[in-house]
Amino acid sequence: MSVNQEFRPKIVAFCCNWCSYAGADLAGSSRLSYPADVKIIRVPCSCRVNPMFILRAFEKGADGVILCGCHPGDCHYSTGNYYARRRMTLLFSMLDFMGVENGRTRVEWVSAAEGVKFSTVMNDFVEKIRSLGENVRLGDLRCKK
């Protein structure tokens, strides 16, 4: 696989406030690095993430979007991530159906204690997006000028 080293993807990570955002904080305070390409948006719960946000990110030029939430069963709001899981499963399946590379989207469950996991996941995801290259199938060309 030829990986373009110059390519710096734009990656949006939606993190739930209670688990994954705290996990990212822990990764930070543990100085566990991951590429700067990842930018985190804090949401109260993974279930707050609307498919439209994900498509919007791609529209505006994101190359990958990852959603991180509490582990199933551990949701601060008890059931939010279960709904998020179904929604994202279906959305991602649809994107795949339409020919969008399915590696561009991902859901990961990262608890507040899993700083290491957060960093590993992000490193892995960025690597994946780098190998997929620029998102051309789901962007609005007007934003690429």
Within 83-112, the residues that bind other proteins by CB under 8 A are 83, 85-102, 105-107, 111-112
Is 129 a binder of other proteins (CB under 8 A)? no
Residue in 7, 32, 120, 128 binding other proteins, rule: CB under 8 A: 32
User: Which residues contact residue 6 at a Cβ distance below 8 angstroms, ignoring those fewer than 6 apart?
Assistant: none
Contact criterion met (CB below 8 Å) for 56 and 138: no
Q: How far is the CB of 40 from other proteins (least distance, A)?
A: 5
Among candidate residues 37, 15, 36, the one with its CA nearest the CA of residue 118: 15
Residue in 7, 41, 116, 120 binding other proteins, rule: CB under 8 A: 41
Residue in 20, 62, 68, 125 binding other proteins, rule: CB under 8 A: 62
Parallel, antiparallel or unpaired: strands 38-43 and 11-16: parallel
- Whichever of 105 and 130 has its CB closer to other proteins, that residue is 105
Tell me, what DSSP letter sits at residue 70? P
CA–CA dist 70, 58 (Å, integer) = 24
| Interhelix angle 80-97/51-59, nearest 10 degrees | 40
Is 124 a binder of other proteins (CB under 8 A)? no
Q: How far is the CB of 3 from other proteins (least distance, A)?
A: 19
Residue in 7, 117, 127, 145 binding other proteins, rule: CB under 8 A: 145
